[in-house]
């Protein structure tokens, strides 16, 4: 089937596909066309990685647009949203507009209504529905990429409920679900009332095997000798072997999957020794340049470790990398400049980085709930293996698992090579998942009675799969009780049918897109903080379930809102931002600890020695913490409390301008993690700010305290720099240098001696001009201005951070 022969697409699309090298449709694509994907029919395509699922989605979306409709493409990872948007933007030449919806979870993204294709994560779509985005009603086609992720305990339920809502709003909606090969694709098709295209076809042959001793045994019965010398690393040998085996005139690159970030980093060091010896002079030059870019992209150790291996032609890839570095590695690997990458399994899915050889070095991963090393799912290992073989570049792909003994070799064949992937199972009938979705379903008007709610839930995969309907009902009832007890829902059983309505605060919580339990934790904490600040006499905030105010520590007497530098200069801070300094004694650490305690925050783990360390911190700073510290004998609760304190301390360090490197070292995390924690805290503090308005209706002090704590996290600065750091392009490090040079506020920037500004900004003319421009200075030009280096010197001495300009630092977020 040729693309030009397809009907129903915008004019010229067939020709454009042909020009891209799509001469004929792959068999699964042809099957999708036969099943009516161009005519608005729903479809589940369960086909292997790299066999052209994206084109199936494009055919569906483009034909929907040609019919005058609008399409939504749901991506499994936020990082993939812009990648997909860029991919679809090539259709703009054919009059198709594309938009991507990222960013905060509490807007309705109205502008997206004018786009033909919108790309978003399921969380984003869910939040758009909650915020009443009207354009959702106009959708005619929805694509769900990697739909097998409904099996994921954390994120699956959101995808499941979102698809159910979209289909409820528009019963004629075309639903196209793309899936890896799974054990029960027919069940998914049944759930979505869709035709099923299931296939094992791959555009390039894949051999899967196990290496043991001196050879790889493949599933097709063939054997390939790969001798590993005594003491030699088998993975390194396999990577070297692929590089030394020429096909299409070149050696093949490898992707190595390991089970932790640390292992990814150490494996990359070993692999770099292999790749280093196989580079041309030109490659060495280009890699040196790339390494420089990588090093400058972030001031943390991870970036510098990454640069060290990149220079030698290898890399590691995990969620701790900063986004620009991740993209740089992927691009260079696709360009075959980087020849070996070691990666963690989380990144196996979705990232389009094919390699000739895939080595699955670790097939077990530590799992806390499991209580030890747990074998990976077949589906996951198959997806890793599916990354092997680059169409048009490699004659074949090879996936190799590693065994140290004959028994393991046999086990690996049985467990993975010959095994069928597991069936996908809905994870909806769990309290945390239903808590949030039941509230949102009622708040957004999808159900107004208990029975209506259960009917709505009947459209989910869970209901399709289960034989035990009572389980969903009983979890739903438990959740309804919880939501009622926390005043998020009102239930009225007076006239026979139980009606449900979200309360005002319930609506707010649904729109804020936080777990109702997080909202309850925040509300309780804020009420308590306000009550104790008022000396405990404010009956207005007392409610059942909240510890009485007199049990809470006395915030009224302890005030640590201000800058911790104690340099005597903090008096004017509040005025600088043009806001009142809150009189209430809610400390930043108290709030950081509070948000870290919510189920929406991922706490840092306690490592060895941490229990003692944070027990000490806990008692030293107890007065600042909101709520009463659990007893040390309540093991689980106490440890949770300390883990949240550790996370809270990380945020506090960040807001105290501690260097990224030092934070990374102190808490054993990568820069990507710091960023993740900071973004989550910012989001939760934003939610807390809205909730505080409900609690603190009297003087708004709590709202102010939360806002300032949030801004400090957002900019990564102390109180005194809030005003300066809020100016675009300034960021935490430059703000500190300007401050030390005597420029303390945005207003100062408009008046200050330009040579001082330039000196504090290390003589960078363009930067200085942009800073002045954003501060609203009338004439920001630095023409003929000489930097005042005494200002620069003062700044350096004052900030204690003389190395690196920091303009690319995480603190500047972009």
26 near ligand ADP (CB under 6 A): yes
Phi-psi region of 736 (alpha: psi -120 to 50; beta: other; left: phi over 0): alpha
Instruction: Output 22 or 606, the one with its CB closest to ligand ADP.
Output: 22
472 near ligand ADP (CB under 6 A): no
Which of these segments, 43-51, 182-190, 417-425, 775-783, binds ligand ADP (CB under 6 A)? 43-51
Name residues whose C-beta falls within 8 Å of residue 39's C-beta, 6 or more positions apart in sequence: 8, 63
SS3 510: helix
Name residues whose C-beta falls within 8 Å of residue 318's C-beta, 6 or more positions apart in sequence: 261, 264, 343, 344, 346, 347, 670
48: closest CA among 141, 148, 121?
148
Is the separation of the CB atoms in 337 and 293 below 8 Å? no
**Backbone φ, ψ for residue 393 (5° rounding):** -115, -45
Pairing mode of beta strands 372-375, 397-402: unpaired
Among 21, 68, 372, 539, which residue sits at the site for ligand ADP (rule: CB under 6 A)? 21
Residues in the chain: 814
Which of these segments, 44-52, 231-239, 258-266, 694-702, binds ligand ADP (CB under 6 A)? 44-52
| Cβ 405 to ligand ADP shortest distance, Å | 34
Instruction: Output 55 or 400, the one with its CB closest to ligand ADP.
Output: 55
| Cβ 25 to ligand ADP shortest distance, Å | 5
| Cβ 116 to ligand ADP shortest distance, Å | 20
Instruction: Output 197 or 601, the one with its CB closest to ligand ADP.
Output: 197
Pairing mode of beta strands 195-198, 206-212: unpaired
The per-residue DSSP string of 283-327 comes to HHHHHHHHHHHHHHT-SSHHHHHHHHHHTTTEEEE-TTS-HHHHH
| Cβ 608 to ligand ADP shortest distance, Å | 41
Instruction: Output 52 or 525, the one with its CB closest to ligand ADP.
Output: 52
| Cβ 145 to ligand ADP shortest distance, Å | 8
Phi-psi region of 559 (alpha: psi -120 to 50; beta: other; left: phi over 0): beta
Which of these segments, 24-32, 35-43, 165-173, 305-313, binds ligand ADP (CB under 6 A)? 24-32
Which of these segments, 18-26, 189-197, 308-316, 564-572, binds ligand ADP (CB under 6 A)? 18-26
Instruction: Output 358 or 655, the one with its CB closest to ligand ADP.
Output: 358
Is the separation of the CB atoms in 44 and 464 below 8 Å? no
| Cβ 352 to ligand ADP shortest distance, Å | 6
Instruction: Output 2 or 232, the one with its CB closest to ligand ADP.
Output: 2
Name residues whose C-beta falls within 8 Å of residue 238's C-beta, 6 or more positions apart in sequence: 211, 216, 226, 254, 357, 359, 400
DSSP state of 257: E
Instruction: Output 50 or 691, the one with its CB closest to ligand ADP.
Output: 50
- The helix or strand, by DSSP H or E, that contains position 758, with its residue range, turns out to be helix 754-760
53 near ligand ADP (CB under 6 A): yes
End-to-end C-alpha distance for the chain, whole angstroms: 45
Is the separation of the CB atoms in 778 and 713 below 8 Å? no
| Cβ 160 to ligand ADP shortest distance, Å | 21
Instruction: Output 26 or 592, the one with its CB closest to ligand ADP.
Output: 26
Number of residues that bind ligand ADP (CB under 6 A): 14
Partner residues linked to 490 by β-bridges: 501
Instruction: Output 80 or 576, the one with its CB closest to ligand ADP.
Output: 80
Is the separation of the CB atoms in 740 and 756 below 8 Å? no
d(CA 270, CA 240): 11
Q: Which of residues 381-420 bind ligand ADP (CB under 6 A)?
A: 391
Instruction: Output 351 or 461, the one with its CB closest to ligand ADP.
Output: 351
Q: How far, in Å, are 44, 139, 461 from residue 173 at the CA level?
A: 14, 7, 17
| Cβ 51 to ligand ADP shortest distance, Å | 5
Instruction: Output 25 or 236, the one with its CB closest to ligand ADP.
Output: 25
73 near ligand ADP (CB under 6 A): no
| Cβ 576 to ligand ADP shortest distance, Å | 51
Helix axes 588-596, 635-655, angle to 10 degrees: 130
The per-residue DSSP string of 419-442 comes to PPPPPP----SSHHHHHHHHHHHH
Instruction: Output 44 or 530, the one with its CB closest to ligand ADP.
Output: 44
Instruction: Output 213 or 391, the one with its CB closest to ligand ADP.
Output: 391
| Cβ 328 to ligand ADP shortest distance, Å | 20
| Cβ 29 to ligand ADP shortest distance, Å | 6
- Provide the mask over 346-365, with x wherever binding to ligand ADP is found by CB under 6 A and - wherever it is not: ------x-------------
Q: Which of residues 298-357 bind ligand ADP (CB under 6 A)?
A: 352
148 near ligand ADP (CB under 6 A): no
Is the separation of the CB atoms in 664 and 632 below 8 Å? no
803, burial (CB in 10 Å: exposed 0-12, middle 13-18, buried 19+): exposed
| Cβ 120 to ligand ADP shortest distance, Å | 18
Among 42, 51, 174, 809, which residue sits at the site for ligand ADP (rule: CB under 6 A)? 51
| Cβ 122 to ligand ADP shortest distance, Å | 17
Instruction: Output 87 or 301, the one with its CB closest to ligand ADP.
Output: 87
| Cβ 21 to ligand ADP shortest distance, Å | 5
Among 49, 444, 596, 809, which residue sits at the site for ligand ADP (rule: CB under 6 A)? 49
Instruction: Output 22 or 419, the one with its CB closest to ligand ADP.
Output: 22
SS3 369: coil
Q: Which of residues 546-565 bind ligand ADP (CB under 6 A)?
A: none
| Cβ 52 to ligand ADP shortest distance, Å | 3
54 near ligand ADP (CB under 6 A): yes
Instruction: Output 25 or 713, the one with its CB closest to ligand ADP.
Output: 25
313: closest CA among 341, 292, 347?
341
Instruction: Output 181 or 690, the one with its CB closest to ligand ADP.
Output: 181
| Cβ 607 to ligand ADP shortest distance, Å | 38
Phi-psi region of 592 (alpha: psi -120 to 50; beta: other; left: phi over 0): alpha
| Cβ 49 to ligand ADP shortest distance, Å | 5
- The helix or strand, by DSSP H or E, that contains position 358, with its residue range, turns out to be strand 357-360
Which of these segments, 23-31, 60-68, 71-79, 266-274, binds ligand ADP (CB under 6 A)? 23-31
d(CA 217, CA 123): 43
704: closest CA among 717, 696, 569?
696
Among 32, 42, 52, 142, which residue sits at the site for ligand ADP (rule: CB under 6 A)? 52
Instruction: Output 3 or 670, the one with its CB closest to ligand ADP.
Output: 3
25 near ligand ADP (CB under 6 A): yes
Name residues whose C-beta falls within 8 Å of residue 396's C-beta, 6 or more positions apart in sequence: 204, 205, 206, 207, 247, 356, 389
Is the separation of the CB atoms in 218 and 208 below 8 Å? yes
Partner residues linked to 314 by β-bridges: 340
| Cβ 465 to ligand ADP shortest distance, Å | 25
Helix axes 431-443, 156-169, angle to 10 degrees: 30
Binding site for ligand ADP (CB under 6 A): 21-22, 25-26, 29, 49-55, 352, 391
């Amino acid at each position: 089937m040729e693309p030009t022969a397809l009907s129903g697409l915008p004019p010229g699309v067939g020709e454009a596909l042909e020009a891209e090298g799509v001469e004929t449709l792959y068999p699964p694509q042809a099957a999708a066309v036969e099943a009516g994907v161009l005519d608005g029919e729903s479809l589940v395509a369960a086909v292997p990685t790299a066999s052209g699922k994206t084109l199936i989605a494009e055919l569906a979306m483009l034909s929907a647009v040609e019919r005058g409709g609008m399409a939504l493409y749901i991506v499994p990872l936020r990082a993939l949203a812009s990648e997909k948007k860029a991919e679809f933007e090539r259709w703009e030449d054919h009059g198709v507009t594309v938009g991507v919806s990222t960013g905060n979870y509490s807007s309705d993204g109205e502008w997206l209504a004018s786009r033909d294709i919108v790309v978003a994560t399921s969380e984003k779509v869910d939040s758009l529905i909650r915020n009443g985005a009207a354009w959702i009603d106009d959708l005619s086609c929805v694509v769900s990429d990697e739909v097998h992720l409904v099996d994921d305990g954390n994120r699956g339920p959101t995808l499941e409920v979102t698809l159910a809502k979209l289909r409820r709003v528009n019963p004629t909606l075309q639903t196209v679900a793309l899936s890896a090969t799974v054990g029960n694709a027919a069940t998914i098709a049944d759930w979505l009332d869709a035709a099923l295209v299931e296939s094992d076809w791959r555009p390039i042959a894949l051999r899967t095997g196990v290496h043991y001793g001196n050879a790889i045994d493949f599933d097709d019965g063939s054997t390939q000798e790969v001798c590993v010398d005594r003491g030699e690393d088998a993975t390194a040998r396999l990577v070297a072997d692929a590089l030394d085996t020429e096909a299409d005139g070149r050696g093949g690159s490898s992707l190595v999957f390991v089970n932790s970030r640390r292992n990814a980093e150490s494996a990359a060091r070993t692999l770099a020794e292999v790749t280093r010896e196989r580079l041309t002079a030109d490659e060495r030059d280009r890699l040196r340049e790339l390494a420089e870019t990588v090093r400058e992209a972030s001031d943390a150790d991870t970036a510098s470790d990454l640069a060290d291996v990149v220079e030698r032609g290898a890399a590691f890839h995990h969620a701790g990398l900063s986004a620009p570095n991740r993209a740089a590695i992927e691009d260079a690997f696709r360009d075959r400049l980087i020849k070996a990458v070691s990666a963690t399994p989380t990144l196996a899915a979705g990232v389009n980085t094919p390699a000739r050889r895939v080595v699955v070095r670790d097939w077990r991963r530590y799992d806390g709930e499991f209580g030890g090393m747990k074998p990976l799912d077949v589906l996951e290992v198959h997806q890793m293996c599916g990354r092997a073989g680059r169409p048009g570049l490699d004659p074949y792909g090879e996936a190799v698992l590693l065994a140290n003994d004959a028994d393991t070799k046999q086990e690996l064949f049985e467990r993975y090579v010959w095994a069928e992937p597991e069936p996908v199972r809905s994870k909806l009938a769990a309290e945390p998942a239903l808590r949030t979705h039941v509230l949102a379903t009622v708040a957004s008007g999808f159900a107004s009675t208990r029975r209506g709610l259960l009917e709505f839930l009947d459209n989910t995969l869970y209901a399709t799969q289960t034989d035990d309907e009572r389980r969903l009902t009983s979890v739903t009832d438990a959740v309804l009780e919880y939501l009622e007890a926390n005043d998020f829902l009102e239930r009225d059983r007076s006239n026979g049918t139980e009606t449900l309505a979200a309360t005002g605060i319930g609506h707010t919580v649904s729109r804020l897109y936080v777990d109702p339990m997080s909202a309850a934790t925040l509300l309780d904490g804020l009420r308590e903080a306000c009550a104790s600040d008022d000396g405990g006499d404010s009956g207005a905030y007392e409610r059942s379930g909240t510890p009485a105010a007199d049990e809470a520590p006395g915030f009224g007497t302890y005030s640590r809102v201000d800058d911790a530098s104690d340099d005597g200069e903090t008096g004017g801070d509040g005025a600088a931002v043009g806001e009142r300094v809150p009189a209430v004694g809610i400390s930043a650490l108290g709030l950081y600890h509070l948000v870290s305690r919510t189920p929406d925050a991922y706490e840092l783990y306690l490592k060895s020695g941490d229990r003692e360390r944070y027990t000490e911190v806990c008692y030293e700073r107890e007065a600042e913490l909101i709520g009463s510290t659990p007893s040390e004998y309540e093991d689980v609760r106490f440890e949770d409390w300390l883990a949240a304190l550790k996370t809270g301390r990380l945020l506090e360090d960040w807001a105290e301008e501690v260097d990224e490197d030092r934070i990374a070292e102190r808490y054993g995390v990568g820069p990507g993690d710091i960023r993740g924690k900071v973004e989550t805290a910012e989001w939760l503090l934003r939610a807390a700010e809205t909730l505080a308005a409900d609690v603190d209706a009297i003087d708004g002090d709590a709202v102010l305290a939360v806002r300032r704590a949030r801004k400090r996290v957002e900019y990564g600065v102390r109180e005194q720099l809030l005003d300066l750091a809020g100016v675009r392009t300034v960021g935490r490090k430059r703000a500190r240098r300007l401050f030390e040079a005597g420029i303390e506020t945005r207003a100062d920037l408009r008046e200050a001696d330009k040579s001082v500004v330039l000196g504090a900004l290390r003589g960078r003319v363009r930067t200085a001009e942009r800073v002045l421009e954003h501060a609203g200075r009338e004439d920001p030009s630095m023409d003929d201005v000489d930097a005042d280096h005494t200002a620069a010197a003062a700044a350096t001495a004052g900030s204690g951070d003389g190395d690196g300009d920091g303009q690319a630092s995480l603190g500047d977020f972009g």
